[in-house]
Amino acid sequence: MRYELGFGKGTQAVEVKESCLLDVLLPNPVLKELTGEEEVRRALMAPIGSAPLREIVRPGEKIAVITSDVTRPVPTWKIMPALLDELYAAGCSPEDLLLVFALGSHRKHTEEEQRHLAGERAWAEIRCIDSDGLDCVHLGVTANGTPVDIFRPVVEADKVICIGNIEYHYFAGYSGGAKAVMPGVSTREAIQANHSRMVKPEACAGRLEGNPVREDIEEAAAMLGVDFIVNVVLDEHKEIIRAFAGDVTQAHRAGCTFLDTLYSKPVAQRADIVIVSQGGAPKDLNLYQTQKALDNAKHAVRDGGIIILVGSCREGLGEKTFEEWLTAAPDPHSLVVRIEQEFRLGGHKAAAIAMVQERAEIYLVSEMEPNFVRSLFMTPFTSVEEAYSAARKKLGEDAGVILMPYGGSTLPKFFAEI
């Protein structure tokens, strides 16, 4: 059978014999009632653990709305019209509203990218800016010693609203919620301190309670004070199918519970070959982002198997320290040793890739230069079909295959571990 996987703004196709196909991990069917902006408006009218937003904000208050940057699939432009209407209904003025793109440790946006993310209405009506990790206010430290240094305009706002999408995160458990604050509008040093806990076994996809990274994130956000969130869950077509508004923790937890019904995928048998895509643009802009699909795929592959990672990576590796660690490593295991001795933001993703490489080979289908890919201890290909053919030659024509077309969102759970 022929299957298509997202690759940049297009697709890549692969033929897999039905007798070899163990599973295709697609989202579970869920009832879709309202979608898009209408679903956001519904959520705003039915907040979870909170009064309606129009009863929280006051005329004359400075309101900071934090949203995700261009590396995330959050459709801010679909959320902002409903949010603006709610804020205006409370008596807020456009000049008192600020939309902050949470860069975390990522690059700054172009003006065109900012405008696209904000949407034409928000771009025309309110001020829109990137966060700046060099202009922060120190609010203290968490119980684990993470400095809470937050972008000054957010700290100086009277009310803080966070926008985000909820999907699995390989060490924070889930995205969304308080992650808009930490790492979203924090300093690189703060992010590094928080992310250093990723090496703990409890810091894993799909786990909230007892997850040291998530608990630290939420403590930092509590020190700032988040007044309201609007989080969404997207389907495989990046459409909003459910929205959750209200309290930063309670609304987020409700969204995580819903996500599990959509994207948690039990697997009865680990595969010889896993073919996984991040789902295309913007999630596969670079290897730094495409790594998320790889980390989910590791749960579906057997030891000694092959993961065919499909991602355009047209912007290359995507992060300076990540690149330095990957290109300087003599072998994958050295990265695992290094992260235990010297945690550095960016290096943490290099080590996460290395941990997968210790269990399985990685065939990378990308737009990156082949010799450069080989220097990262991966086998380069330009097409999924070519990579799959090479994997069959190595593991046998009857090698079992699991397909993950939306690998950044879909979390395989092996029956024996459920």
Asked whether the beta carbons of 398 and 19 are under 8 A apart, the reply is yes
Compute the CA torsion angle 161, 166, 171, 173 (nearest 10 deg).
100
pLDDT attached to residue 417: 56
Alpha-carbon distance of 47 to 40, in angstroms, equals 11
Taking domain 2-27+264-417, whether its CATH number is 3.90.550.10 is answered by no
Alpha-carbon distance of 228 to 131, in angstroms, equals 19
What's the 3-state SS for 202-257? CCCCCCCCCCHHHHHHHHHHHHHCCCEEEEEEECCCCCEEEEEEECCCHHHHHHHH
Residue 338, Cβ neighbours under 10 Å: how many? 18
pLDDT attached to residue 2: 95
What is the residue whose two structure tokens read 């771009």?
123
- The dihedral through the CA atoms of 305, 311, 313, 319 has a sign that is negative
pLDDT attached to residue 416: 53
Domain ranges of the chain: 2-27+264-417, 36-234
What is the residue whose two structure tokens read 């990046």?
238
Task: Find all residues with CB under 8 Å of 18, minimum gap 6, and list them.
Answer: 1
Alpha-carbon distance of 78 to 80, in angstroms, equals 6
| DSSP per position, 378-411 | -EEES-HHHHHHHHHHHH-TT--EEEETTTTT-E
Asked whether the beta carbons of 331 and 311 are under 8 A apart, the reply is no
pLDDT, tens digit only, all 418 positions of the chain: 999 999 999 999 999 999 999 999 998 888 888 999 999 999 999 999 999 999 999 999 999 999 998 878 899 999 999 999 999 999 999 999 999 999 988 889 899 999 999 999 999 999 999 999 999 999 999 999 999 999 999 999 999 999 999 999 989 999 999 999 999 999 999 998 998 888 888 998 899 999 999 999 999 999 999 999 999 999 878 899 999 999 999 999 999 999 999 999 999 999 999 999 999 998 899 999 999 899 999 999 999 999 999 999 999 999 899 999 999 999 999 999 998 888 887 899 999 999 999 999 999 999 999 999 999 999 999 999 999 999 999 999 999 999 999 998 889 987 555 4
Taking domain 36-234, whether its CATH number is 3.40.50.1820 is answered by no
pLDDT attached to residue 340: 80
Alpha-carbon distance of 254 to 133, in angstroms, equals 30
What tokens were used for 128? 């829109």
Alpha-carbon distance of 269 to 402, in angstroms, equals 9
What is the residue whose two structure tokens read 């003025």?
93
Give the closest residue to 315 by CA, choosing from 73, 71, 75: 71
- The helix (run of H) or strand (run of E) holding residue 88 is helix 76-89
What tokens were used for 46? 């039915």
- Residue 301 backbone dihedrals phi, psi, to 5 degrees: -105, 145
Alpha-carbon distance of 207 to 260, in angstroms, equals 11
Whole-model pTM? 0.82
pLDDT attached to residue 418: 46
Give the closest residue to 228 by CA, choosing from 78, 7, 352, 56: 56
